[in-house]
Amino acid sequence: MSSILTFGQLMTKKRYTKKKKSVKDLDTNDIPYTKVRVEWVDALSDSAWASEKEFKNMKLANPVNEGWIFHKDRKAIKLFASYDKEEDGTITFGDRTMIPKSWVIKITEI
């Protein structure tokens, strides 16, 4: 005779356990990059129909990015806002942004 288990009995029989990885507190000093806040100006486009008044009131966007400077030179600044650091020290970068230097209004170290 076969035995039928209820969901509760089945879950009691099988316990799914997930191994937890040890997580160290992330310290922004554990990577060789400077954390900054970048205020900049960006182009704005709109494909909708607009009146003359609406068109005259159109303004540039003023975004703010916070992250670490990967590289900057006279033409552009490259930022990343997230990263994954492996045990061997290798870093993988995420949330990457490249901004033309002429669009940057202000850079503040945080």
DSSP assignments along 7-69, one per residue: HHHHHHH-----PPPP-PPP-GGGSSS-EEEEEE-B-----S---HHHHHT---B--EEEEEE
Q: Average pLDDT of the chain?
A: 84
- Nearest by Cα to 36 from 12, 9, 64, 59: 64
Q: What is the pTM of this model?
A: 0.69
pLDDT of residue 40: 98
Closest C-alpha among 104, 34, 45 to residue 71: 34
Distance in angstroms (rounded) separating the CA atoms of residues 59 and 26: 39
> What's the pLDDT score for residue 5?
56
Is 79 in contact with 38 (CB distance < 8 Å)? yes
Check residue 13 and give its pLDDT: 52
- pLDDT for res 70: 98
pLDDT tens by residue, 30-47: 899 999 999 999 999 999
Q: What integer pLDDT is reported at residue 30 of this predicted model?
A: 83
pLDDT of residue 25: 43
Record the tokens describing residue 53, joined without a space.
């008044």
Rounded mean pLDDT for each run of 10 residues along the chain, 110 residues in total: 55 48 48 96 96 97 98 98 93 97 97
Instruction: State the amino acid at position 22 in one-letter form.
Output: S
